[in-house]
Amino acid sequence: MFALRPASPADRAALYRICLETADSGADATHLYRDPRLVGHIYAGPYLAFEPAFALVLEDGDGVGGYVLGALDTAAFEARLEREWWPALRERYPDPADVPLGARTPDERLAYLLHRPQRADPAVLAEYPSHLHIDLLPRAQGGGHGRRMLERLFAALRGAGSPGVHLGVGGSNTRAQGFYRHVGFQELARAPGGSLTLGLRL
């Protein structure tokens, strides 16, 4: 039996672990990275720290099995990370810009993102200013929890005045793409590598 509840600072380690265990196109990426915290520093930690009103966890007797993390105003969130989140990480993880692209390790590819975070397209933000990440461990998948968690997040974002939410999904994560389209997301952009930006009006 799973229950949904607001995330708390005590969930940080669980969020980082789930982030890593779903980071390989939805599958476990533990074997890919030497530093198990890097993925979470980018895709989980800042949401828990700065947008706790839009952070929910799914929990059963075995602990936290999934989360949905949202940011209400992506532009403001990105600006805050630039001031308060990335500087400390940039001290800890060197910039791999001098390593040729093809020679970078998976850790270096993530470290590159700490130094040059991806910024959302202003044209997307005009209609879909919020964004989200959702990740469930295998034991929590396929039971309707993903849809329920998104609906709870949509209600919170709508209640805070957001007109739309967007997200990014990798080109090889076809399962998640199918899920997002099924719950109402539409394609906004497709990058050369195949990753998609999807959006939904709230």
Return the sign of the alpha-carbon dihedral for residues 112, 76, 185, 147. positive
Tell the smallest beta-carbon distance from residue 69 to ligand COA (Å).
11
Q: Which of 41, 47, 192 has its CA nearest to residue 112?
A: 41
Tell which phi-psi region holds residue 142, choosing left (phi > 0), alpha (psi between -120 and 50) or beta: left
Per the DSSP assignment, residues forming a β-bridge with 165 are 130, 200
Cβ nearer to ligand COA, comparing 18 with 96: 18
Q: Exactly one of 77, 135, 165, 166 binds ligand COA (CB under 6 A); which one?
A: 135
Of 36-44, 90-98, 136-144, 193-201, the segment contacting ligand COA by CB under 6 A is 136-144
178 scored as a contact of ligand COA (CB under 6 A): yes
DSSP category for residue 27: B
Residue 147 is a binding residue for ligand COA (CB under 6 A) = yes
C-alpha 149/C-alpha 10 separation (Å) is: 20
Q: Which of 14, 136, 198, 202 binds ligand COA (CB under 6 A)?
A: 136
Cβ nearer to ligand COA, comparing 121 with 151: 151
Contact status, residue 165 vs residue 202, Cβ threshold 8 Å:
yes
Q: How far is the CB of 97 from ligand COA (least distance, A)?
A: 26
Choose between 87 and 138: whose C-beta lies nearer to ligand COA: 138
Judge contact between 141 and 70, C-beta under 8 A.
Answer: no
3-class DSSP assignment, residue 75: helix
Q: Which stretch binds ligand COA (CB under 6 A): 7-15, 39-47, 90-98, 179-187?
A: 179-187
The footprint of ligand COA (CB under 6 A) covers: 22, 26, 134-136, 141-147, 169, 173, 175-176, 178-179, 182-183
